[in-house]
Amino acid sequence: MIREFAAYEKLDHTLTFEPDDLRRHLFGPEAAASVLVAEDDDGEVVGFALWFRTFSSFLGRPGIWLEDLFVREEHRGRGHGLALFRALLERTEGRFECAVLDWNEPTVRFYRDLGGEPVDGWTRYRWLPGEST
């Protein structure tokens, strides 16, 4: 499903993960992130939310960073994404944050409809493994 998500975001050329690494980092004893899945009435997995804990020193509370939220196209509009989103909101009393690609208008609308606001004045930075510093 991660491959489907990457294709949707036009980023499938950036995939480098190994399944064993995902298992270790998501389901191992020292998991770095967590995954919630959405299932249809037949038990088929139709979506997922990959997230991890954050902490705000200003609030003095843990929060959640939503890394990925994806529902397969043929299952969209049935409440799966909303159910995943609400399940995550219930897990924190701190900040709930995520990023969205500028061109992804359906997701921008989804987040705004849920009360999300863009964060002005911040620029996101990234360092990738193997890049010189």
- pLDDT of the residue at 133: 62
Residues involved in catalysis:
111
> Which CA distances in Å does 54 have to 66, 91, 98?
10, 12, 11
Confidence of residue 70 (pLDDT cuts 50, 70, 90): very high
> Which CA distances in Å does 112 have to 10, 59, 61, 67?
22, 23, 24, 17
The model's pLDDT over 104-132, given as tens digits with 9 standing for 90+, comes to 999 999 999 999 999 999 988 888 887 76
List, in order of start, the domains of the chain with CATH numbers.
Answer: 2-113 (3.40.630.30)
Stretch 71-93: mean pLDDT, rounded?
Answer: 95
